[in-house]
Amino acid sequence: MKVILILIVVVGLAVGGYFGWKKYAAKAAADSAAAKQPATALVESRSIIFAVNVAGEIAPAEQVSVRPEINGLIATLAVDVGDKVKKGIPLFTLDDKELQNTKASKITEIDRAKVQLEQAERNYKRYEQLSKEKVVSQELFDDSGTQLELARNALDRSQKELALIEERLTKTVILAPFDCTILVRPVSIGQAVAGAGGMSGGTEVLSIADLNNMVINAHVNQADITRLKMDQEVTVAVEAVPGLKVKGIVNRIAPQATVRNNIKGFSVRVAIKDIDPRVQPGMTANVTIPVASAENVLGVPLAAVYTDTLEGERYVYIKEGDAFVKRTVKIGIADYFHAEVLDGLKSGDVVALEPPATELANKPLPGVRPGAASSAKEGAPAKSKDVRPKKSGASKRSAPAGGA
């Protein structure tokens, strides 16, 4: 009886194993067949935008380090960091007591010089008359003329010295040169400051800027600079203000290349239009410079486009029935994701995103290198180098979200 039970169990296990193996084999065959089918994409109408993206720093168009022209002590300093000041409003003043005292002394000196000049003129006229009458000698007459000239020179010298003092007094009041915002105020009332004419260039009392006019200073890779032109409109995204996008105008392109972060490029200045009050100096901005675009054109994924490096021919693998057929196409502009199809495909066509298995099994065509999408598979056709834009240096090219 026990032997019969053992036989029944063994037979049951054998039958179950057989049907399990059969089910596994069927599933494996189905999976293998599916694996042989490459991933596909649909050819459809879309907008393709190719742009150059560069990062830059936002800065005021006008920024001034305010330093006094003369030495002195800070007497008043009514502004502080963040204050907005209108043009012509005093920013700070220097103590002018010493200059005022010197001015008063010079005025007194001028009054005395005027009296002395009047006396010298009277003496000269009297000696002139007496000389004509032969009452005094020519020597005394000449001496009176010399005294008159000295009196005139003394008055003239005193008046010039007074003018210099009055000019220095005007430099004790420093006015805002334009509508500005105070960025930095490193000194306080009572502090001694040096004039700008000194060896050190003077003491910085304030740093001011016009925040109504802002620019972006960017470094554009030499590979992309030829795509820029003066007065070109660009789109600016500010990292610190999510979702904010403003327009800008390219208004400066350096005529000579410089090296920054080991990247050779050109300094470019972009003026921001319609400043948002949330935008502040020092923020990072991403500038999108449009290069080429095509609206509502037939588009194919770049992964589906291959190039025969020997003949320069572009082609795709299009699905016809259950098979994929190689077809030559003509490509227009491209971004990093899609390329414009000028000829060879129509809307609704299905293309392979990698070479079909039959292509991988064949020997490589002469002059054809493995493609980027299947570089690990021997014999795969090469991706086109000139279909997908190259990334280079400090700037990178990418499609805006709407172009993908």
What is the reported pLDDT for 3?
A: 60
What's the one-letter identity of residue 289?
Answer: I
**Closest by Cα among 309, 298, 289 to 349:** 298
Tens digits of residue pLDDT in 254-278: 999 999 888 899 999 999 988 888 8
- Residue 402: DSSP 8-state: G
pLDDT recorded at residue 381: 40
Contact 269, 205 (CB under 8 A): no
* Tens digit of each residue's pLDDT (9 = 90 or more) over 217-236: 999 989 888 888 899 899 99
pLDDT of the residue at 237: 93
Structure confidence at residue 187 (pLDDT): 93
What confidence score (pLDDT) does residue 353 get? 87
> Is 319 in contact with 40 (CB distance < 8 Å)?
yes
Q: Confirm if 295 and 255 have CB atoms less than 8 A apart.
A: no
pLDDT of 36 reads 53
pLDDT at 403: 39
Q: How far apart are CA 258 and CA 245, in angstroms?
A: 29
Q: For residue 260, how many other CB atoms are within 10 A of its CB? A: 12
- DSSP H helices, 69-202, are 97-132, 138-170
Burial (CB count <10 Å: 0-12, 13-18, 19+), residue 238 = buried
User: Would you give the distance in Å from CA 122 to the centre of its chain?
Assistant: 74
Report residue 141 as tokens.
Answer: 């007459």
Contact between residue 360 and residue 374 where contact means Cβ atoms under 8 Å apart? yes
DSSP-assigned letter for residue 172: T
User: Which of 241, 78, 99 is closest to 170 using CA atoms?
Assistant: 99
- pLDDT value for 371: 42
The contacts of residue 67 (CB under 8 Å, 6+ apart) are 193, 195, 196, 201, 202, 203, 204, 205
CA 253 to chain centre: 11
The whole-number pLDDT of residue 119 equals 93
CA–CA distance, 247 with 61 (Å, rounded to integer): 16
Contact 62, 183 (CB under 8 A): no
Whether 268 contacts 220, CB under 8 Å:
yes
SS3 state of residue 16: helix
Which residues of the chain are under the pLDDT cut of 50?
30, 33-35, 361, 363, 365-404
- This prediction has a pTM of 0.59
| Nearest C-alpha neighbor of 236 from the set 202, 196, 279 | 279
Which residues are 380's β-sheet partners?
none
Given this model, what pLDDT does residue 377 score? Answer: 36
pLDDT of res. 140: 86
Predicted local distance difference test score (pLDDT) of residue 47:
86
Integer Cα distance of 209 and 29 in angstroms: 73
What domains appear along the chain, each with residue ranges and CATH number? Answer: 40-52+293-403 (2.40.420.20), 55-61+212-290 (2.40.30.170), 66-208 (2.40.50.100)
Q: Where are the alpha helices (DSSP H) in 37-137?
A: 97-132
